[in-house]
Structure 1
Amino acid sequence: MSTNHTSSHLVLMQKVVQQLRMEAGARRIKVSQAATELQNFCLQNAHKDPLLMGVPSSDNPFRPPKSCSVL
Structure 2
Amino acid sequence: MSNNNHGSVLMMRKVVQQLQMELSVRRVKVSQAAADLRNFCLQNAQKDPLLMGVPSSDNPFRPPKSCLLL
Interval of TM-score (by shorter of Structure 1 and Structure 2): 0.7 to 0.9
Q: Gaps (5+ residues) in structure 1?
A: none
Query: Runs (4+) of structure 1 moved beyond 3 Å?
Result: none
Q: Distance in 1 between matches of 2:62 and 2:46?
A: 21
Q: Gaps (5+ residues) in structure 2?
A: none
Amino acid at match of 1:58: S
User: SS of 2:44's equivalent?
Assistant: helix
Q: For residues 3-52 of structure 1, give each alpha carbon's deviation from its aligned partner in whole angstroms, at most 9, with x where no partner exists.
A: 11111111111111111001111111222111111110010011111111
**What is the aligned length?**
70
Residue 5 of structure 2: aligned partner: 6
RMSD: 1.4
Q: Distance in 1 between matches of 2:24 and 2:13?
A: 17
- TM-score w.r.t. the length of structure 1 is 0.86
Residue 58 of structure 1: aligned partner: 57
Amino acid at match of 2:18: Q
Residue 31 of structure 2: aligned partner: 32
Q: Distance in 2 between matches of 1:63 and 1:40?
A: 32
Q: Distance in 2 between matches of 1:50 and 1:3?
A: 60
Residue 22 of structure 2: aligned partner: 23
